[in-house]
A and B are shown apart, each in its own frame.
Chain A
């Protein structure tokens, strides 16, 4: 998220300065909406989460203690709101892998080995490929998707991601690795097919 959001005076925000809060909205709302959309895959739900995030933030600001940055705090509110909607939609089923340590042997079973890096940029970033990239994120279980979105799409550090999600840093690292390996696997199968198409042309 944009660094300049964290330069807005915390004192002004806490004092209810509407102009400072508006600046915060302009600087951060694109990111908050995108995170909500990635978690929920529904534009209306994402917009609801966006609005609820800033309503809650505005109310809670006077008590904000500043233990994390304002942006990390906003992400935390937004992710909690989005996950609450996910749970409402589907009664929570605990994934077996959710709290298990990383097991390299089972993760590496039947790993696809296709060196798709050599595909031309136009192929890797074609509109069809972009559609596949989006779909591959949606296919991740929510607990992995949230970590991937924060770290790799929003560019947050491991520490910030852990603060925003209320997870330990080790837990974030494990989930990040799992999510990246799964996406790599999906992309390998997809781009492997593209490489065959290219070689047959």
Chain B
């Protein structure tokens, strides 16, 4: 493990990273980042691990969107919509 010593260019890059990994950054800035990370191992790792961080959260979240049945039933009851409760 090491702490990253930043040059001014590394810091400049940091402010655009979120939009970069989302594919929402304008083309010339993307090109500048790609050029920079060719020679800067630390920034390349920051970019890759930032992307991986977001991916890991997306993966774990997509597995848990179902509302527990008991909570849904209490909700429908509260809303006087319990006649629409679907029984499996």
Contacts and interface: CB of A to CB of B under 8 A. Distances in A.
Given A34-B64, A177-B18, A115 B78 contact: no
A73 interface: no
A50 B57 contact: no
A176 B6 CA distance: 21
Interface in B72-87: 72, 74-76, 78-79, 81, 84, 86
B45 A187 contact: no
Interface residues of B, number: 43
Given A25-B79, A184-B49, A33 B71 contact: yes
Contacts of A133: 56-57, 60
A51 B10 CA distance: 47
Nearest to B54: A152
Contact of B67 (A30, A137, A158, A181): A30
A188 interface: yes
A162 B14 CA distance: 22
Contact of A112 (B1, B56, B57, B58): B1
B78 A188 contact: no
Main secondary structure of the interface of B (DSSP, over half): helix
12 contacts: A21-B79, A26-B72, A30-B65, A33-B67, A47-B75, A51-B78, A54-B78, A108-B14, A114-B45, A115-B49, A125-B59, A181-B50
Interface of A: 18-19, 21-22, 25-26, 29-31, 33-34, 47, 50-51, 54-55, 58, 102, 104-105, 107-108, 110-117, 124-125, 130, 133, 137, 152-153, 155, 158, 173, 176-177, 180-181, 183-184, 187-189, 192
Interface of B: 1-4, 6, 10-12, 14-15, 17-19, 24, 42, 45-46, 48-50, 52-54, 56-61, 64-67, 71-72, 74-76, 78-79, 81, 84, 86
